[in-house]
Amino acid sequence: MPAGHGSAGISTTYIPGNLMSFIPVSGPARLDGKIAIVTGAAGGIGRATTLALAEAGATVIATDIADSAQFGSNAITYRRYDVTSRAEARSIIAETRAEHGAVDALILCAGTISHRHLVDSTDDEWRSILDVNLMGVVNPVREVFPVMAEQGFGKIVALGSIASKIGGVASGPSYVAAKSAVHGLMKWVAKNGADKGIYASVIAPGPVETPMWETVTQRAAPSPNGSVPLGRFGQPEDIAQAILFLASPASNWITGTVLDVNGGMLMD
């Protein structure tokens, strides 16, 4: 099987008789020369991910709802972006492509949480949670899908949650439902994008010590002792490195997966 490099500098191997003449083989967890967009980049996991991608060589377009954010890296450009707006999703994808020529990776970290019990939940709460956690994934993914298809390559990584697998940790049903929908959506994208070179996967974190998690710990929340076999809650960097793995050539034979990163809370 002769090996070579594709036009995007991706290592490839020829597979005789395969529908895809050349498929990318896995390589180092580096993103040199790649262009990545990160949503929710001002938050705990999003910020750590933005820094990790830049450290791995990527040029990163960091986006969030805040007017500004500082990262201390020339490889990172910040832009305000409301993930609930399809028009803004279209603009951020188009502007990135026009300026940099490609969108190699889309990392979806924007999210919000609710703790209300089902019987106490309101229609407004459901709309708000679904708008950010689900439509905040749908909007950029449906705009970037044709771009990546035209390029013949792209990686999409979305934040899911352990909550969608176990019915919640300390979150309410609206959050669980939204994250479950993200898991299903990304599997659809993986299945329908594979022959176009589009990869799609989900990271399902356990409890991670971020500002959003602090709102949970003010309520009934598990202790790491006993509930987490590795003995501690996660840090944003734990999730960022898993995202880097799925966004990089190190995972070129992985798509449609939900990667559990939870210290052993769920062994699936």
The residues assigned a catalytic role are 175
**CA torsion angle for 79, 205, 242, 148 (degrees, to 10)?**
-50
Closest CA to 206 of 219, 183, 218, 222: 222
Is residue 158 helix, strand or coil?
strand
Is residue 133 helix, strand or coil?
helix
Closest CA to 170 of 161, 180, 182, 157: 161
CB burial readout 221-243, b (16+ within 10 A) else e: bbebeebbeeeebbebebbbebb
Q: Round to whole Å and give the CA distance between 197 and 194.
A: 5
Q: Are 6 and 33 in contact (CB under 8 A)?
A: no
Q: Are 225 and 251 in contact (CB under 8 A)?
A: no
